[in-house]
């Protein structure tokens, strides 16, 4: 509990605004002081009276309020806050923030504040995936804005995909998290994340269900603990963590090339990417046409990226692997730990509903050659912090 932490909650015009009453109530339970700022469109989804009732404070909604602006109210708000959280953060407010537009009270506060700023994206999955939205999110991340979420699942419009605002309990955890001790200051960590794609022809490829969320959470956690982070990422639909150097790849061979190049300059290497085990022996120059009822493909084995790093003869980093299994999790994980010459492996059972691939939650068992540690079900970011703290003890 962080008593008296001062938070400005900026509510914008999305259906997820209805969750903000619960969010404010839970933040106040933690001892936080809350002031609410609403955009005009937000008031179509939840009323200022409701937010006033749960916050115990007058809700601000106008930049041109004479009584407030007589004392330069927007500047006072900006200076008062320890954190400004925009939730829900629609594609519109994200675009305004990226462009530096200040045409209402909330956007003006966001430009005027020295406080930490975080956003909780919430929008239709297609809007979230649009290149303009992703570019805007990347811009904000590079400026130091924390991007919390979004989650993935069924949306109000009936679509299913990434774009749901994180639940109030998850946002409370992020809002009230104290600054992490800089346990990894001066360390360089290289992390791989997401899937690889192995082309079959110009339009088809072999891949898997990895969302990249665990790897990206590890990157964010490492930065929070003071590390310099290289994130080698396959194709994903999430914004890069702030202060992280991202190297985008598609194939396992590209992943191997960049992993070896960065590993020798790293204190630790974490292989969290879901690497395709096989690739096509021959990639068709043109789109393959349907011929007959069966198609036979010849596949060849891909390089073992994590093993290649773990067996470097010169400048070998502390090497951590991941084992996503559906059965015999412990035995498979211990086998990989030994056979690949790893220092540590993080194992999870992806057959369990609601955990692992595409989920915001997970559970891990960490294995070393002489011990193991259980990490119970939690958000991927919380698990990532625990993994990084264990790693810090060994570097």
Neighbours of 236 (CB within 10 A): 18
pLDDT in tens, 175-227: 877 666 789 999 999 999 999 999 999 999 999 988 898 999 899 899 889 99
CA distance 238 to 211: 8
Tokens of 59: 């809700």
Q: Is 364 left (phi over 0), alpha (psi -120 to 50) or beta?
A: beta
Catalytic residue numbers, as ranges: 157
**Tokens 């079959």 correspond to what residue?**
200
Asked if the 6-176 domain carries CATH number 3.40.50.1950, the reply is yes
Q: According to the model, what pLDDT value does residue 71 have?
A: 46
Spell out the per-residue pLDDT of the chain, length 395, in tens.
456 789 999 999 999 999 999 999 999 988 889 999 999 999 999 999 999 999 998 898 877 665 554 444 557 778 888 899 999 999 999 999 999 999 999 999 999 888 889 999 999 888 998 999 988 988 888 788 888 888 877 666 677 777 889 889 889 888 877 666 789 999 999 999 999 999 999 999 999 988 898 999 899 899 889 999 999 999 998 877 767 899 999 999 999 999 999 999 999 999 999 999 999 999 999 999 888 888 899 999 999 999 999 999 999 999 999 988 878 888 999 999 999 999 999 998 877 766 656 677 788 999 999 999 999 888 788 899 999 999 999 99
Yes or no: say if 24 and 9 are a contact pair by the CB < 8 Å rule. yes
Please give the span between the terminal C-alpha atoms of the chain, in angstroms, as a whole number.
31
Yes or no: say if 231 and 241 are a contact pair by the CB < 8 Å rule. yes
The DSSP output letter for 58 is P
Tokens of 92: 């519109």
DSSP letters along 323-378, please? EEESS-HHHHHHHHHHHTT-SEEEEEETTSTTSSTT-SEEEEEEE-SS-EEEEEEE
The domains spanning 6-176 and 188-392 adopt the same CATH topology:
yes
Q: How many residues does the chain have?
A: 395
Tokens of 275: 């690497």
Work out the widest C-alpha separation in the chain, in whole angstroms: 78
Tokens of 197: 């794609």
Look at the domain 188-392 and name its fold: Rossmann fold (3.40.50)
Q: According to the model, what pLDDT value does residue 361 have?
A: 79
CA distance 97 to 91: 10
CA distances in angstroms from 358 to 185, 281, 308, 386, listed in the order given: 30, 29, 27, 20
Q: According to the model, what pLDDT value does residue 306 have?
A: 96
pTM equals 0.66
Q: Is 6 helix (H, G, I), strand (E, B) or coil?
A: strand
The DSSP output letter for 178 is P
**Tokens 């915001």 correspond to what residue?**
360
Give residue limits of the domains in the chain.
6-176, 188-392
């Amino acid at each position: 509990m962080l008593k008296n932490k001062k938070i400005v909650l900026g509510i914008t015009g999305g259906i997820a605004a209805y969750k903000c009453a619960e969010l404010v109530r839970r933040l106040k339970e933690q001892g936080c002081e809350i002031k609410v700022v609403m955009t005009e469109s937000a008031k179509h989804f939840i009323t200022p009276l409701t937010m006033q009732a749960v916050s115990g404070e007058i809700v601000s909604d106008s930049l041109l309020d004479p009584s407030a602006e007589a004392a330069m109210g927007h500047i006072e708000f900006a200076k008062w806050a320890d954190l400004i959280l925009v939730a829900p953060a629609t594609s519109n407010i994200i675009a305004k923030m990226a462009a530096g537009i200040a045409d209402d009270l909330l956007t003006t506060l966001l430009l005027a504040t020295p406080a930490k700023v975080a956003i909780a994206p919430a929008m239709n999955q297609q809007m979230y995936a649009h290149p303009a939205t992703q570019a805007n999110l990347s811009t904000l991340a590079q400026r130091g804005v924390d991007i919390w979420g979004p989650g993935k699942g069924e949306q109000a419009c009936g679509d299913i995909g990434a774009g749901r605002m994180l639940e109030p309990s998850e946002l409370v955890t992020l809002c009230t998290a104290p600054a992490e001790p800089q346990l990894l200051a001066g360390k360089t960590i290289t992390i791989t994340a997401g899937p690889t794609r192995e082309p079959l022809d110009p339009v088809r490829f072999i891949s898997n269900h990895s969302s990249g969320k665990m790897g990206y959470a590890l990157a964010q956690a490492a930065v929070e603990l003071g590390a310099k982070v290289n994130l080698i990422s396959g194709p994903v639909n999430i914004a890069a963590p702030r202060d992280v150097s991202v190297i985008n790849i598609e194939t396992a061979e590209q992943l191997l090339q960049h992993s070896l190049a960065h590993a020798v300059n790293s204190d630790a290497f974490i292989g969290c990417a879901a690497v395709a085990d096989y690739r096509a022996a021959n990639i068709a120059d043109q789109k393959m046409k349907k011929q007959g009822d069966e198609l036979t493909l010849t596949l060849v084995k891909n390089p073992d990226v994590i093993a290649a790093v773990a067996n470097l003869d010169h400048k070998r980093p502390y090497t951590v692997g991941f084992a996503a299994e559906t059965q015999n999790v412990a035995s498979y994980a211990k086998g990989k730990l030994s056979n690949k010459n790893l220092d540590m492996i993080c194992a999870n059972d992806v057959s369990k509903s609601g955990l692992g691939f595409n989920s915001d939650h997970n559970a891990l068992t960490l294995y070393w050659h002489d011990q193991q540690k259980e990490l119970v079900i939690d958000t991927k970011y919380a698990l990532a912090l625990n993994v990084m703290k264990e790693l810090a003890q060994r570097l």
